[in-house]
Structure 1
Amino acid sequence: MSAGLAVNEETHFRDNLAIRLTDCRIRARDAIRSYRLHGDVVRVFHDVGIIILEPLRIASYLFGHLDGMNDTGTLCEVAPELPTEDRAFVTAIGRLVDQLRTLWCTRGKWESYNALVDVGAVGFRLFDEFGVHARPQPDGQAYINVPFTADTMPAGSAQVDLLRALMGGYRS
C-alpha cells in the first residue's frame, strides 16, 4: 500500500537486506557458541532471532514494495532478487513472500488472526535450520533445544569438559 508513497525506497530496501544477510550463519553460530558458555536459552533464542529474523523483516518490505510498484500485475521471482547464496534464507524468504502475498490477496476475508500463523511458521523453520529448536509445551511455554554440533562449540571447550570428566566431574 505504501509503495506509491516511497517510490525511491527500492535501493534502500535492497541495500538493507544485503547488510542484514551478511555473515548471518557465522553470527548465529557465534551466538550459539556464546550460549554454550552462558546457558541461557531465552538469551540464545533472542540473540539468534535478531540475526535470522531481521532479514525476513527487511525482505517483506522489499517484496511488498516491489509488488506494490509493479503496474503489470506480474509478481517478481524471489530467489534471483536475493543477495545471498544461503539456501536456508532463499527458501525461507520465498515461503515468507508466498505467505504475505496470500494474506494480501485475502485481506478483508480473514476470520481470525490464525491466518498469520503460517507467517510465523516460516521464522520457526529458519530457527530449526540454524540449530535452535523451539517446541510448544502443553502449558503454553516453549521448550528450547540447541543441539551440540562441532561448529557451535566454543574453542577448547570439548577438551575442558573431557578433562573435568576424567577428574571426577565438575567442581565449583
Structure 2
Amino acid sequence: MSKLSGFAINEEARFRNNLAIRLTDCRITARDAIRSYRLHGDVVRVFYEVGIVILEPLRIASYLFGHLDGMNDTGTLCEVVPVLPTEDRAFVTAIGQLVDQLCTLWDTREEWESYNALVDVGAIGFRLFEAFGVHARPQPDGQAYINVPLQQHYACRVYAG
C-alpha cells in the first residue's frame, strides 16, 4: 500500500476505537436479526440487518490498516491479529484476508484491466455472511438466492469468567 497518510496522522486511536465499537456484540446483534427473521421471513431485511452489523467492521478495519500502512516507514504492514479488538475467529480471518487483498490491490493498481479485481474483496464479505449464518448465492438472472438455515453452530456462546 501507499505511504501517503500524512494528512491524518492523529487518526489511529479513532480508527481503533471505531473498530472496537463496531465489533462489540456483533454476534449477538446478528443472531437477534436472524431470530427476528424466523418471525418475519423477509430475506432482504435479514440480509440488510446482518450485513450492516458485519460489514461495517470490515470498512473500519480497511481504514485502520490503510492508515497504519500509510504511516509505516518500514514498508511492511504490521501483523493484523494483535491489532484486532476481538477474538471472533470469523472476523480475525475476514479482516486478515481483507488486509491481504487490499495490499495486493494497491500493489497491482497500475495493472487492473477492469474493476473485476475488486470481486475478491466482495467475496470476503460473502464468506463472513456465511460464517454468521446467512448464505447468499448468485442466480443466472442476476438476482441472489438468500438462505438462512437453522444450525446450532451459529449461536453466540458467552463465557462467564
Q: TM-score, normalised by structure 2?
A: 0.91
* Cα distance, 1:149 vs structure 2: 2.9
Which shows bigger deviation, 117-126 or 70-79? 70-79
The structure 1 residue matched to 2:137, chosen from 135, 139, 146, is 135
Note closer, same or farther for the CA distance 1:104–1:151 as it changes in structure 2 (3 Å cut): closer
The structure 1 residue matched to 2:76, chosen from 74, 77, 88, is 74
- In 2, the alpha carbon distance for the partners of 1:13 and 1:112 equals 30
* Cα distance, 1:97 vs structure 2: 0.5
* 1:10/1:62 contact within 8 Å kept: yes
Q: Secondary structure at the residue paired with 2:73?
A: coil
Q: TM-score, normalised by structure 1?
A: 0.86
Task: Extract unaligned runs of 5+ from structure 2.
Answer: 156-161
- In 2, the alpha carbon distance for the partners of 1:99 and 1:149 equals 30
Q: Deviations over 1:80-137 (max 9, x none)?
A: 1000000000000000000000001111210011100000000000000000000001
* Cα distance, 1:150 vs structure 2: 4.7
Partner of 2:159: none
- In 1, the alpha carbon distance for the partners of 2:102 and 2:122 equals 11
Give me the CA root mean square deviation: 1.5
Q: Deviations over 1:17-76 (max 9, x none)?
A: 000000101100000001111110000000000000000000000000000000111210
The structure whose Rg is larger is: 1
Note closer, same or farther for the CA distance 1:93–1:152 as it changes in structure 2 (3 Å cut): closer
Percent of aligned pairs with the same amino acid:
82
Runs (4+) off by over 4 Å: 150-153
The structure 2 residue matched to 1:96, chosen from 95, 98, 111, is 98
* 2:131/2:154 contact within 8 Å kept: no
* Cα distance, 1:10 vs structure 2: 0.1
Partner of 1:3: 5
* 2:133/2:154 contact within 8 Å kept: no
Task: Extract unaligned runs of 5+ from structure 1.
Answer: 154-172
Q: Secondary structure at the residue paired with 1:135?
A: strand
- In 2, the alpha carbon distance for the partners of 1:32 and 1:149 equals 11
Partner of 1:84: 86
